Amino acid sequence: MATATATATPPVLHRLRSLDTSLSQSLHTRLNPFIPGHLLLLLEYSADFRLFFPVSLSLYFTPFRRSFAIPFIAGLLIDLLFIGLVKSIFRRSRPHYNPNMIPAVSVDHFSFPSGHASRVFFIAAFASFFAVFESTSWFLLFVWTWALLTSVSRVFLGRHFVLDVLAGACVGVLEALFVFRFLRLDISEFAVLHSDVYAIFTPPQTEIQFESNSGIWF
């Protein structure tokens, strides 16, 4: 009697994958028609590595390249390599229900995990570690909103499944933790950089002087 050598997919994983596919297709079918297509494509292009990475390279020529630009660029490269490795291992196909998938994934044919989600969540988490000072809530709100909307758009566009996006987001945050922990970011230089950047976007304030018995308060 011949013995089967093929390894079947565990029932739990098979069920999870089926639910993931059904949920993702439902979100794509029901919500995509109500969202402007140009907005979804804008989010997609804003996090495209082929466009984003060359722009990020310009940070290398800033005065703070050692403490900020080099770890940031290194993190993007780590993300690219790690996501590519994981995709080559799992080799999960892209959603079959998107008729416009072929021209969009000519470079990357696999789905799990989402490279866009990992990239934007790496950037958002990295920005959070960088923005450890006051008056940065507006910036973090913008970055995290962009990361969330970009990740969700991957499902609405039919580029990825929900689990692809969730896994990519987790990977991105872990990559930011790794970069921040092991590349020895210099927080003191971040403080100088933050003060310079914040000064650009903050209108000058009128200095008010108060006199007291002990002198002048500013």
Are the CB atoms for 121 and 169 separated by under 8 Å?
A: yes
Q: Can 28 be counted among the known catalytic residues?
A: no
| The two structure tokens encoding residue 98 | 């998107």
Best CA proximity match to 159, nearest among 86, 109, 196: 109
Burial readout 96-123 (b: 16 or more C-beta within 10 A, e: otherwise): eebeebeeeeeeeebbbbbbbbbbbbbb
Q: Do 108 and 208 meet the contact criterion of CB atoms below 8 Å apart?
A: no
From the candidates 14, 96, 160, 194, which is the catalytic residue? 160
Catalytic annotation present for 194: no
C-alpha separations of 38 from 5, 45, 75, 100, 198 in Å: 48, 10, 29, 14, 31
**Which residue numbers are catalytic?**
116, 160
